[in-house]
Amino acid sequence: MGGKVKLTTGNEKHVVYKKTTKRGEGKVGDIMVNHTSKDKGTYDTISLTRTANAKTVKQGIKAEKDWHKKNDKPKKNGKVSSMAKKRG
């Protein structure tokens, strides 16, 4: 798995990729996650190398999925996501 990988976890769309330019958040070579929804604000782009010690895109995907398993919260409309229901 290389390049940009699109995934949906925690009912949100994400793009996990390896940074190749010196612009924006993180350093060149860092594994980054971008939350593609427009309402994310300051949490739009996160370095998974810094937060989860990910060295590859595959490790970044696993870190993102694990984070959403541990931090799954109800939506603003009061409904609980399907993953939270399955966990009881």
Domain ranges, ordered by start, for the chain: 5-70
Going by pLDDT thresholds of 50, 70 and 90, the confidence category of residue 47 is: very high
Q: Which residues pair with 7 in a beta bridge?
A: 14
Q: What is the pTM of this model?
A: 0.74
With tokens 């810094």, the residue in question is: 50
Tell me the C-alpha distance between 20 and 70, whole Å. Answer: 30
35 band by pLDDT with thresholds 50, 70 and 90: confident
Residue 80, pLDDT > 60, answer no
